[in-house]
Structure 1
Amino acid sequence: MRNLLMVVFVLGITQARAQDSLHSTLLQDLVISTSGPQMYPLQVSDSIFQLPASVAKLDTRLLQSNNRVELAPILNTVPGVFMQSGTFNTNRLSIRGIGARTPYGTNKVRAFFGNIPLTGGNSETTIEDIDLEFLQNIHIIKGPLSSVYGAGLGGAVLLQPKTPDPEQMQAGVSATVGSFGLIKNQLFVSSGADTYSFNVGYHKIENNGYRENSSYYREGITITGDAFRRKKSKLTYLSQYTSLKAYIPSSIDRETFLNNPKAAATNWKDAKGYEAYKNFIIGLNYDFSFHENITSATSFFYSLKDSDEPRPFDILKENTKTFGARSQFVGSWQLGGKLLKATVGVEFFQDGYDAATFENLYLENNGQGSLAGADKNRLSQTRNFVNVYSQLRYVFSEKWELNAGLNYNKTSFVLQQKYPLENAYDTPYGYNGIWAPQIALSYLPSKLQTVYLSVGRGYSLPSIEETMDENGQVNTSIKPENGYSVELGTKLFSADKRFYAEAALYRMKANDLLVAHRVLEDQYVGVNAGSTVHMGLEFMAQYKWQLGDKTRIIPFVSAALGNFMFHDFKQNDQDFSGNDLTGVPKNQFAGGFMFNLPHGFGLKADYFFVDKIPLNDANALFTDSYSLCNAAVNWQGKLTSALSLSVSIGINNIFNEHYASMVLVNATGFGNSAPRYYYPGQPVNYYGSFQFRYAL
């Protein structure tokens, strides 16, 4: 705890990009940011309504509407978004089928916390470390339609930290308890004034886990705010420290999944395998207005992650240091009474990655778990990433506007093999520069409807493992994935703005498909094995039905109907062309309602359906489709003029569905063991939470 307090002090004097800058950056390059109707469960403003792309905004109430720990039940209400969750620390996020084949974790989707990239030079993204109670909202951009955020093939996830309420100091405490030993505690203090603001939050999560060898512990501190606020300038900051230790039950075979889903994989249980890390990120941003028409924002960020992962086949130790900067200029002018808005910027970061593996002597450790033995391998990679981007918005009539963007990426790296000495090498390499243009045309038949057509190119860089061949040398034949996406969509309000609906039809072809080929139990290599086609229809709607002054019901539905398939895919003399894409369901559906009652009471219920998922490229094995139902009741009100209380009690998986909450695609059995495809989802589980908030 003493070390944690020292970190708090360090964080308090560091600076990062603040929350409000993120929201304006998201919208300023494409739309006019104006206030608009606030709806629930998905929040829609006029600015999002005019945006010529599929963008979802999840607000604070929605992010905290479940157990305040798990993000998957929230993200999976967004059509086209699918987050699989094996455990709290094992998650895979895919958008429109992009990223579904990643063995573990998330890539092909870029993420930002404030203005700090959460996606590292290894192309992996971790968003589950961020405390949900410290987020103002989450924006999800589906598809490669944002040049400002890197033109990721799957899109981008933008997490906005909370901003302090102006001219008010607040303090609060919250707690959540739930099934399988879940305990979460959170503390926060915030203050806002004319020239400064700050927001400090601390959280701790403990969980015994539903399965064997799945206990989880995480604590973290987040500090945000701004200082030296002037009429034309502002300095803002963000910083976070996370400490985690999470045991890993790993995936299990079909027989175990059906008959004993609580079991961990035998080798992971015997080794008491886990992952542990300390992650520290800081950032500083300076906003300055040169002129009434020209503004700038320049940010610097740094992150440090030190991790340790004892696995049955070895012990992996990793250290990653990242530093970088973003700078952009925004100008807006009236040309003949028509709005012209332009954004230009550049982003740079450098990743320094060091890894070492050691023998794991757990079989010789008398059942005490992992024990480090001799060195097996040591390597390092330094990756330089440069992004230059521009965005143009031209409103050339009351009903028509044009948006265009261009992103250029150049990535190079140096891969060093340091041990064994006889295999040592130092190899520089770089990918060809990638140009990613975007263009969108939108038409507003009225102030209540938008119709748009968007075309954009995206890319996804290989991970560190994918840059190496089977011999550990640089794979000079590997190339980034890339593809074009075409999207036709519409957004519609009713005249009274109580009803909102949107629909999008899209098609994307991803070329140079990166395939993780497993050569050993602990080694994957990447190959470019062909192309995939992603087509689909997404729809969502919600209605605010006012039953009285303080009573209303808000039903919502969302659906994603997809056709994801291999277009041209051959591997190991097998032709999988025309097969369904592995790891992603074709169809998803979500629906539910919020019922707001007098005296601060409320009821929430939702239903989530997932279609069957192909487990291997040959489509010889699928999961079963499944349905989940969740519900919660809540109350919030004031105990005094300064003290407020909110209470929530909920139940997830009401009907105790047996399902796979995550899968490992193309699993391979080693020796005489069966392939382990399945991560069992939690059975019916309960939680309760409360929050006290005091305004000083």
Structure 2
Amino acid sequence: MPIMAQQPQDSLFNNNQLKEITISDFHINDSLLNAPAAIGVLSVKEIQRNNNTNIAPVLNTLPGVYMQSGAINTNRITIRGIGARTQYGTNKIRAFYGNIPLTSGDSETTIEDIDMELLQQAEVIKGPLSSLYGAGLGGAILLQPKHTTVNGNTASVSTTHGSFGLMKNTVNYGYATDNGNVNISYHKLETDGYRENSEYNREGITLAGELLKKEKSSLTYFGNYTYMKAYIPSSVDKETFENNPETAAYTWKSAKGYEQYDSYLGGLSYQWQPMAGLNNATSVFVNVKDNYEPRPFNILSQNTLAYGARTQFTGQYTIAERQVNFIAGMEYFKDGYEADTYENLYEANNGNGSLQGNRLTGTEQDRNFINVFAQLRFSIIKKLELQAGINYNKTSFELKNTFPQEVISNDDYSYDGIWSPQVSLLYKPTTLQTLYVSASRGFSLPVIEETLNPEGTINPDIKPENGYNFEVGGKFYFLNKKLFTEFAVYNMQVNDLLVAQRVGEDQYVGVNAGETLHRGIEIGANYYWEVSRKCNLQPYFAASIGNYEFKEFNDNGNDYSGNELTGVPKNKINAGLRAEMDFGLYLTADYYYLDGMPLNDANSLYSGSYNLLNLKAGYQFAILKGLTSNIAFGVNNVTDTHYASMVLVNATGFNGASPRYYYPALPVNYYGNLSVNYIF
């Protein structure tokens, strides 16, 4: 469980000790040790632990976090089992890139478009333990972008090549002075893919930096453009998975189905100090996406425009000789969405792939929400702190069916305001050891499709999922800060469980059908061992032991109460090692064990458990003054394990076909990386 963060890539230690972990400014706490919550933190070294193209192997080193990756553009992230039954993609988890939300108005989260080489830090808040991010049931993911911090000019070039036509090139330039900085980067990622119809192409430009930087104020800016086109092999049935995993689903191969979009992100954030002890950060942001997706059953064209603002006040005062910290603010988010579907005439296109035909449907959706949040932290008695928070969410949306003529309609709906409290106690037996207990409430709003009747109109009876989480945890430094350990024990019950009932090949309706119970233990340890003056070892270990089940669940007359929750493994173990030599040579090894998991609610079919091993070796060296280089070579899936890197839960076969549950993973694969950095 890698934890170190906010350090230069070559300075993760202080006097041969693990440095205390600093967390982002979003929190009311400034360090992981003093945060009464389970937060996984990944440093630059840990983010770049693999091939810099897929963040899944990195996130999966954190206990309680499981990212499935059917392809670079096909992912599902679950935290403590939350979101495991989502059919495609990630929801019930909010994500931010700096101050900009990566989660759309209909609760879908995409983080895979962000270039990993532009990240300074990643944080994963597990469970509804923070009232600052909408109190989502699963938690939140915070991605912090890199900024040039050394005055002068910096430039870097990186290239990665690997198996199955993998190629990634990144170019970055930065300039900084005492008054501000600018960073601009370009990246291009391509791969032929292991499977049929799995070619992938993505390129993007990012501009970020600070202006008007002063002692008590600064203006930061961010802009990103991404183009992506990815062919879709889709999932396959069990026989194909076992015997011909490199093949694509027949219909997707015949249609040459793919996803293509242009995406724009932009934001401004102004931080200032209106008075002593009080700080404010106010940001505005916009997110635009134009998507085109030819599928075997139709062609989907989507346009999304989202924008919003967030303001947050942070204060620190001393009252009756006790330090009091607080955060309070609000966030507004508006999301507008237009979608049309068309006939796909690929069968009449003489094997040349998809061909757009007549328009089938047209819809427009608008969603608005407001989050108001506050947190307070103060000492009750010596060594004992109280932290309390509250979040209020008000969400409304509008749905218009604009085509065909016979279904034209206009529906408005608003959820009742949702209050989500959180309270924690933090006990500090020493300055390097903490224990905490917490109780919190969270919620997850249904995506638009889950709010609809089969006729396409809003079902006013659909409720958001909600649940209470109770947690006990601890974080400890031992052996003169050479060893860091942590644990968390949690119990969360989710009520008004949303169930996606399939009514067509790509059509689902939602119902509130029961309750789930999420219980588990997470443990982790990091150790710094100085073998000699020229060599050190940094082993880590992380484990998640969970019990996820349907407490009450009745779906279409089938009683699944007591069954294991679909799509989430009970047990997950990670262990690894980084060895470093003083002359620049390093080696990393990462081991993953994942338990089998149920593929359907009836628990009649399970995926197999598996073990994975990834290795990477590299050499960092100086060429000239200010000019350094890094050469690395890696092997993923060293043992050539055959496993599913993603599953489609509750898959249904049509017209007598077998259900397609499995996304086959890459076999053993290799990559090499060369980077050059220049400071001048």
Task: Tell me the TM-score normalised to structure 1 length.
Answer: 0.94
Q: Measure the CA separation in 2 of the matches of 1:657 and 1:541.
A: 27
Which residue, 170, 176, 180 being the options, matches 1:192? 176
1:358 maps to 2:338: no
Which residue, 588, 607, 615 being the options, matches 1:623? 607
Which residue, 130, 143, 163 being the options, matches 1:146? 130
Asked if the contact 2:266/2:285 (under 8 Å) is kept, the reply is yes
Residue type of the alignment partner of 2:263: N
Secondary structure of the equivalent of 2:133?
coil
Shift of 1:238: 1.0
Residue type of the alignment partner of 1:255: E
1:241 maps to 2:225: yes
Asked if the contact 1:37/1:497 (under 8 Å) is kept, the reply is no
1:476 maps to 2:460: yes
Residue type of the alignment partner of 2:149: D
1:179 maps to 2:160: no
Secondary structure of the equivalent of 1:258?
helix
Which residue, 156, 172, 189 being the options, matches 1:205? 189
1:400 maps to 2:387: no
Q: Measure the CA separation in 2 of the matches of 1:43 and 1:196.
A: 26
Asked if the contact 1:298/1:328 (under 8 Å) is kept, the reply is yes
Please name the residue that 2:95 is paired with.
111
Asked if the contact 2:335/2:368 (under 8 Å) is kept, the reply is yes
In structure 1, stretches of 5+ residues that fail to align are: 1-21, 24-34
Q: Measure the CA separation in 1 of the matches of 2:21 and 2:619.
A: 21
Please name the residue that 1:379 is paired with.
363
Please name the residue that 2:628 is paired with.
644
Please name the residue that 2:60 is paired with.
76
Please name the residue that 2:26 is paired with.
none
Asked if the contact 2:67/2:78 (under 8 Å) is kept, the reply is yes
Shift of 1:218: 0.1
Shift of 1:119: 0.5
Q: Measure the CA separation in 2 of the matches of 1:525 and 1:687.
A: 43
Please name the residue that 1:16 is paired with.
none
Which residue, 566, 590, 593 being the options, matches 1:606? 590
Asked if the contact 1:42/1:57 (under 8 Å) is kept, the reply is no
* C-alpha spacing 1:37/1:510, structure 2 compared with 1 (3 Å): farther
1:334 maps to 2:318: yes
Secondary structure of the equivalent of 1:125?
coil
Q: Measure the CA separation in 2 of the matches of 1:192 and 1:549.
A: 35
Q: Pick which of 334-343 and 101-110 moved more.
A: 334-343
Which residue, 648, 653, 658 being the options, matches 1:669? 653
Please name the residue that 1:593 is paired with.
577
Please name the residue that 2:31 is paired with.
47
Secondary structure of the equivalent of 2:31?
helix
Asked if the contact 2:427/2:436 (under 8 Å) is kept, the reply is yes
Please name the residue that 1:517 is paired with.
501
1:569 maps to 2:553: yes
Q: Measure the CA separation in 2 of the matches of 1:353 and 1:548.
A: 59
Shift of 1:38: 9.4
Asked if the contact 1:42/1:58 (under 8 Å) is kept, the reply is no
Q: Measure the CA separation in 2 of the matches of 1:352 and 1:270.
A: 33
Asked if the contact 2:18/2:481 (under 8 Å) is kept, the reply is no
Asked if the contact 1:178/1:686 (under 8 Å) is kept, the reply is yes
Residue type of the alignment partner of 1:374: N
Please name the residue that 1:431 is paired with.
415
Secondary structure of the equivalent of 1:547?
strand
Please name the residue that 2:303 is paired with.
319
Residue type of the alignment partner of 2:638: I
Secondary structure of the equivalent of 2:624?
coil
Asked if the contact 2:241/2:664 (under 8 Å) is kept, the reply is yes
Q: Measure the CA separation in 1 of the matches of 2:651 and 2:642.
A: 21
Shift of 1:41: 12
Shift of 1:468: 1.0
* C-alpha spacing 1:291/1:36, structure 2 compared with 1 (3 Å): farther
Shift of 1:201: 1.1
Asked if the contact 1:37/1:44 (under 8 Å) is kept, the reply is no
Secondary structure of the equivalent of 2:45?
helix
Secondary structure of the equivalent of 1:165?
coil
1:465 maps to 2:465: no
Secondary structure of the equivalent of 2:57?
helix
Q: Measure the CA separation in 1 of the matches of 2:425 and 2:627.
A: 49
Q: Measure the CA separation in 1 of the matches of 2:75 and 2:89.
A: 5
Q: Measure the CA separation in 1 of the matches of 2:541 and 2:466.
A: 32
Q: Measure the CA separation in 1 of the matches of 2:16 and 2:227.
A: 36
1:504 maps to 2:488: yes
Please name the residue that 2:264 is paired with.
280
Which residue, 57, 72, 76 being the options, matches 1:92? 76
Residue type of the alignment partner of 1:619: N
1:124 maps to 2:104: no
Please name the residue that 2:247 is paired with.
263
Secondary structure of the equivalent of 1:133?
helix
Shift of 1:447: 1.3
Secondary structure of the equivalent of 1:438?
strand
Asked if the contact 1:332/1:341 (under 8 Å) is kept, the reply is yes
Q: Measure the CA separation in 2 of the matches of 1:43 and 1:368.
A: 54
Shift of 1:319: 0.4
Q: Measure the CA separation in 1 of the matches of 2:393 and 2:400.
A: 23
Which residue, 394, 397, 401 being the options, matches 1:413? 397
Residue type of the alignment partner of 1:663: V
Q: Measure the CA separation in 2 of the matches of 1:494 and 1:476.
A: 54
Secondary structure of the equivalent of 1:124?
coil
Q: Measure the CA separation in 2 of the matches of 1:68 and 1:538.
A: 27
Q: Pick which of 603-612 and 394-403 moved more.
A: 394-403
In the alignment of these two chains, the number of paired residues is 664
Q: Measure the CA separation in 2 of the matches of 1:613 and 1:169.
A: 50
* C-alpha spacing 1:42/1:308, structure 2 compared with 1 (3 Å): farther
Which residue, 149, 152, 155 being the options, matches 1:168? 152
For residues 190-214 of structure 1, what are the alpha-carbon distances to aligned partners after superposition, in whole Å with 9 as ceiling and x for unaligned? 1111111111111000000000000
Q: Measure the CA separation in 1 of the matches of 2:652 and 2:141.
A: 32
Q: Measure the CA separation in 2 of the matches of 1:430 and 1:565.
A: 31
Shift of 1:414: 0.7
Q: Measure the CA separation in 1 of the matches of 2:258 and 2:379.
A: 54
Asked if the contact 2:16/2:530 (under 8 Å) is kept, the reply is no
Please name the residue that 1:308 is paired with.
292
Shift of 1:43: 5.5
Task: Tell me the TM-score normalised to structure 2 length.
Answer: 0.96
Secondary structure of the equivalent of 1:255?
helix
Asked if the contact 1:532/1:581 (under 8 Å) is kept, the reply is yes
Please name the residue that 1:13 is paired with.
none
* C-alpha spacing 1:601/1:51, structure 2 compared with 1 (3 Å): same
Q: Measure the CA separation in 2 of the matches of 1:642 and 1:71.
A: 29
Q: Measure the CA separation in 1 of the matches of 2:309 and 2:144.
A: 18
1:490 maps to 2:490: no
Asked if the contact 2:17/2:480 (under 8 Å) is kept, the reply is no
Secondary structure of the equivalent of 1:504?
strand
Shift of 1:39: 7.2
For residues 512-558 of structure 1, what are the alpha-carbon distances to aligned partners after superposition, in whole Å with 9 as ceiling and x for unaligned? 11111111001111111111000000000111000122310111110
Q: Measure the CA separation in 1 of the matches of 2:365 and 2:249.
A: 31
Secondary structure of the equivalent of 1:465?
helix
Q: Please, what is the CA RMSD of the aligned residues?
A: 1.5
Q: Pick which of 81-90 and 337-346 moved more.
A: 337-346
Asked if the contact 2:20/2:31 (under 8 Å) is kept, the reply is no
